[in-house]
Structure 1
């Protein structure tokens, strides 16, 4: 297979099982011609596995036109949902104000894939509605959808939707649960101003809502001064994220730092290490956004940016972090680096040891792996017997 696909794998891992299934299916479709050539090649018939039941089934599947037709249909159906997943999992902006609206958009696109024939798309819609019920159509999601001018100003019928208005009123009652005057002010006075685009909502600068990349919470901060009750509520809701992905990534960094071999770190030092590593990742992400080289959020990274550049040698450690500033350059690599000694507990700048990661940088120097014995020996320094 790798001979025909130019040494590329079919399976593409993602940060979720749903993403992995979609990315792998997409990868299979892109390699359709190569895979079909593979199963008709003379070497294919010479493989022992091909004569088995599974081998014959695989051959028949690759040559079945209906299979490729259904793969293409699956990708068309799930692509709108993957876009929603990218939005939810991303760190670029708060997604609460866009989630419900993008889900409705995804449902419309899926219906178009099936030619707007209800008998063809009703099963898929039933699954989506079941997943949304009680999870993604709460009063918080409905209120965020209503208060986001990107949707409510583009479609005035949103203000006439009974389900959305009822959800908004319920959200107001919860947000201002002990103040009837503010509830009345938000629902009967300020919402009407927002709907009719009165006062500051009518300004030319308020039309930035037409851009999908705008921040609705910032929009309310700039344009909602004449509706302070609704402004406070809108800013709180539209600043929320709709998933715990950010927290999960932070917890993953803790798992990478606090391991079985490095389990005697103090709380302060552990927090400092996580701070360096996690923010290094965020800085790298920000640079990618500025340079428009944003990688697919759903694709899993091989390692965290700082992972693999941590060296523990007894009581002293050093971390190497990429820097944009003019720091010392690692000889022969073109990589600029600095040692973060304070967070690691090191009293002075340490010399880099050639770990497995650094060893690749020196491959051209004819490095002899037999001299690597001290790597394992250093890892045992400072450990008591039985540890």
Structure 2
């Protein structure tokens, strides 16, 4: 992969090859499980989960016990190609801990559960402690996989992700049951993955993140990030002098960036929106948007492939490539629009619900007022249809009707 990146850069200097960060972090989880002690223990956990899920009697008993204890968590079976599935397996086992221990005592489970499995499920000092340890080690990695695989622009978070993972692993690994050599091996693997993933564009994106401005970067990394911005300006044929001047003012908070209103919404606003909306008049904004919108994972492409597989199926295999591509484009972007507007729809529903509640709380006199308006309309119709000789009689009758309704209105108000 790295050799392919080098060849691409040599031939096309304006292309910046980037690897999938979610896949890289998934490989880091696999590096942890490749350690002898962690891999052996995880195989034991998978064996227990597999035995329970594949045995009808045990699965039925466990579901009955969980329903009695109001536990709605189901056991998750890990998959090698699914990101974070091993953590989901460990967490599902921990959430159903009491139910599994009750299952080991159940009379109908004696013939199916082996003695070793019962001993492990009842072992509070070793088995469940190690389950929690490995879960805690994997949790920061999987949480960052979830963040980076979203459809948002997250390239400015990549450097922070590796820094947080490294700090947490340094704190958690000594507390685990892994040997010293395994701990050092995991940290070496982490540094190797980080070196292959982090590039100068990530330093530049971290510098252009207004919430941090790259304050946790080293001096060398800051210089590399600024050098990348300069080289990108040259490739974009932008005004290099004004861009570098804006970069200096941005870092020192002068000129436009010296105004307080610019920095008020930094913590709650996406950096791309911040640069486009508040700093769109500057020469640096186009370069910043170009850098901050670079993809960090291939998950969006994988999602589009999944959508395409539903559209161009065995039953619809006569679709042309262009027609299938257009339908995929519409379907995929329709899902994104629905997800984006879901929060706005919830707010609208809340407003509609509050409006309905307010209408239902109106006093009963409003219904009588509607009757008054209806009688007035009937009164006008009678006037138009009646002769001039009968106007006085019709008028008196209508007035009597209106007076009668108004008296009802007063009665309801008194009530």
Distance 1:244 1:116, change over 3 A: same
Q: Distance in 1 between matches of 2:150 and 2:96?
A: 28
1:102 maps to which of 138, 148, 161? 161
Q: Does 1:73 align with 2:138?
A: no
Task: Give the TM-score normalised by structure 2.
Answer: 0.58
- 1:303-340 Cα distance to aligned partner (Å, 9 max, x none): xxxxxxxxxxxxxxxxxxxxxxxxxxxxxxxxxxxxxx
Whether the 8 Å contact between 1:96 and 1:144 is mirrored in structure 2 is yes
Q: Distance in 1 between matches of 2:104 and 2:346?
A: 40
- 1:15-43 Cα distance to aligned partner (Å, 9 max, x none): 95232111111111111111111112222
Q: Distance in 1 between matches of 2:323 and 2:254?
A: 53
Q: Distance in 1 between matches of 2:147 and 2:166?
A: 16
Q: Distance in 2 between matches of 1:209 and 1:161?
A: 27
Structure 2 equivalent of residue 270 of structure 1: 324
Look up the SS of the partner of 2:196 in the other structure.
Answer: coil
Q: Does 1:246 align with 2:300?
A: yes
Matches within 5 A, 1:55-66: 55-65=114-124, 66=126
Distance 1:255 1:208, change over 3 A: farther
Look up the SS of the partner of 1:34 in the other structure.
Answer: helix
Q: Does 1:36 align with 2:96?
A: no
Q: How far is 1:217 from its partner? A: 1.8
Moved more, 34-43 or 105-114: 105-114
Look up the SS of the partner of 2:336 in the other structure.
Answer: helix
Q: Distance in 1 between matches of 2:77 and 2:335?
A: 22
Say which structure is richer in helix: 2
- 1:277-316 Cα distance to aligned partner (Å, 9 max, x none): 32342243224444689xxxxxxxxxxxxxxxxxxxxxxx
Look up the SS of the partner of 2:64 in the other structure.
Answer: coil
Q: How far is 1:237 from its partner? A: 0.5
Point out where structure 2 has 5 or more consecutive residues left out of the alignment.
Answer: 1-61, 348-415
Structure 2 equivalent of residue 368 of structure 1: none
Structure 1 equivalent of residue 254 of structure 2: 198
Point out where structure 1 has 5 or more consecutive residues left out of the alignment.
Answer: 294-387
2:309 maps to which of 231, 245, 255? 255
Q: Does 1:220 align with 2:275?
A: yes
- 1:242-293 Cα distance to aligned partner (Å, 9 max, x none): 1121121111111111122221123454244324432342243224444689
Structure 2 equivalent of residue 90 of structure 1: 150
Whether the 8 Å contact between 1:25 and 1:75 is mirrored in structure 2 is yes
How many residues are treated as equivalent by the alignment? 278
Structure 1 equivalent of residue 353 of structure 2: none
Q: Distance in 1 between matches of 2:111 and 2:134?
A: 33
Distance 1:164 1:40, change over 3 A: farther
Q: Distance in 2 between matches of 1:259 and 1:142?
A: 43
Structure number with greater Rg is: 2
Matches within 5 A, 1:1-387: 1-6=62-67, 9-11=74-76, 17-47=82-112, 50=113, 55-65=114-124, 66-91=126-151, 93-114=152-173, 122-135=184-197, 137-152=198-213, 155=215, 158=217, 161-177=219-235, 182=240, 186-187=243-244, 189-208=245-264, 210-211=266-267, 213-224=268-279, 227-228=282-283, 230-290=284-344
